[in-house]
Structure 1
Amino acid sequence: MASSHFESFLQRVFEASGIASQNELASVLNIHRAAVSQAKRKGVVPERWILKLSQKYGLSPEWLESGKGATFSRNGPDGEFFNIPKVTARLSAGGGSFETASTIERYFAFQRAWLAKKGDPRRMVLMDVSGNSMEPELKDGDMVLVDRSRTEVAAGVIYAVGVDEAIMVKRIEKQPNALVLHSDNPRYMPVCLEGGAAAGVRIIGRVIWACREYR
């Protein structure tokens, strides 16, 4: 059944893109031919393949993955819209989230021109916020757009940050040989990381947009 799913995916790609072989698919995806064979054996289509093919050929990610819906989207290489992946990893606005999986849940279309003004669309990802340490700016359940190409620390800016195995969303202050992680909620004290602890902080990217669903 899994192999059949992968074969169906291959057939859709070949018909819609003009790619004629697994070797050519590997070349387009910039991967080794063996990676295609391995995915075929497992019957799993990596999410990054879906994203790259949809952006390159203007194909609907949902159609590529399942065969359902319209074949083409408006999100081609020169189209008006650009697909941004939303991942399962959550940004903790609290003590730190250990839900860090990069599995793509779905895609959201943004206007390409708007994204280009903000940063590098190819390096952007959507993530959910969990917790209340960044209220009132960000609330529990908000979805934020993170540009992973923007990692230079600037005063007063909100970032997605990795500390040890946890990821969180904070404002960052640079000090000599130290980083201070600030919350907007006054109930949360700043966290000062010095020396090696500061050097180990990963700036995942800058938060450039947020979406809130009212319940």
Structure 2
Amino acid sequence: MCSKHIARLCMCQNFFGVLVTFHERLRAERLRLKLSQERFAQLAGVSNRSQANYENGDRKPQVDYLEALEAAGVDTFFVVTGRRQAEANDETGSGKVQDPQGPDTCRFVSGISTADTSGLCALPMYDIEAAAGDGRALEAEEIETTLYFPSEQLAAQGLDPDHVVGVKVRGDSMETTLTDGDWVLIDRKDRPDRPEGVFLLLVEGERRIKRVQRVAGGAWVLISDNGHYQAEMIPPEKVGNVAVLGRCVVRIGRIS
């Protein structure tokens, strides 16, 4: 499992809460290999205290920790995802499986890629500030990166991967709900005629993420959650000029 793939798995698993039992799987894998906590720490290049913290769930390791364990023969795919690497290989067959990010981003062992993506779906992520199109078709823009999410977890959120994209938040107008640099998953299917909530909008050719509130008479109020910004009133006769591109459903950002 290459470092980029481990990072993507850790991000999506952590966000959707699958890593609630990460420390339990880590301990289970150590016991399966019949290794002491001290020996396991040595293989990973960390202190005994760090290893204990990881197994107790008090801390979460960095990617290089998992890479060191994988090199030592630990099934890091199981530790991260809860599925055994052998099971994943059985599903994909014995042929070489290409990582969607390119063959140079993953390591192959015995002709089988350890960067298995079965059970995961790839979501394109766009930087809306770098957009160059007319604003409506995100698909026409250049994809900045691709993140992988467990299909089952997306389904549990009521999301159809074919209609979900990610966009990068720019600016501080939506703090503290969203901060500059966050990624937000957008449900492109959820585009109601009478929106209430946080949406990706197209306003006068500019994509904006705003909280939408409808008021008496049919007007819309576009609200910035940051109190330093004034709300914008869209009168009823101009509501048709605002396109709802999708509802903001999932935030991926750094916890400060």
TM over 0.5: yes
Correspondent of 1:126 among 144, 166, 189: 166
Correspondent of 1:148 among 188, 191, 202: 188
User: How much is the aligned-residue C-alpha RMSD, in angstroms?
Assistant: 2.6
Tell me the equivalent position of 1:173.
Answer: 213
CA distance in structure 2 between the partners assigned to 1:183 and 1:60 by the alignment: 39
CA distance in structure 1 between the partners assigned to 2:142 and 2:99 by the alignment: 18
Structure 2: which 5+ runs fail to align?
Answer: 1-96, 107-111
Structure 1 residues 69 and 185, CA gap change in structure 2 (3 angstroms) = closer
Structure 1: which 5+ runs fail to align?
Answer: 1-57, 92-96
Q: CA deviation at 1:61?
A: 2.0
How many residues were matched structurally? 144
Q: TM-score, normalised by structure 2?
A: 0.50
Correspondent of 2:104 among 58, 63, 68: 68
Q: CA deviation at 1:74?
A: 3.8
Q: TM-score, normalised by structure 1?
A: 0.59
Matched, 1:186 2:227: yes
Check the 8 A contact 1:130/1:140 in 2, yes or no: yes
Tell me the equivalent position of 2:150.
Answer: 111
CA distance in structure 1 between the partners assigned to 2:105 and 2:214 by the alignment: 48
Tell me the equivalent position of 1:158.
Answer: 198
Superimposed CA distance per residue, residues 83-102 of structure 1 (whole angstroms, 9 cap, x where no aligned partner): 001113249xxxxx9xx772
CA distance in structure 2 between the partners assigned to 1:90 and 1:115 by the alignment: 26
**One-letter code of the match for 1:89?**
I
Structure 1 residues 140 and 186, CA gap change in structure 2 (3 angstroms) = same
Superimposed CA distance per residue, residues 153-205 of structure 1 (whole angstroms, 9 cap, x where no aligned partner): 453x2111110110111110123332111111111111111134211111111
Which one has a bigger Cα radius of gyration? 2
Tell me the equivalent position of 1:204.
Answer: 245
Structure 1 residues 82 and 192, CA gap change in structure 2 (3 angstroms) = same
- Percent identical residues: 26
Q: CA deviation at 1:69?
A: 3.5
CA distance in structure 2 between the partners assigned to 1:74 and 1:146 by the alignment: 25
Q: CA deviation at 1:131?
A: 1.1
Check the 8 A contact 1:90/1:127 in 2, yes or no: no
**One-letter code of the match for 1:149?**
K
CA distance in structure 2 between the partners assigned to 1:127 and 1:88 by the alignment: 6
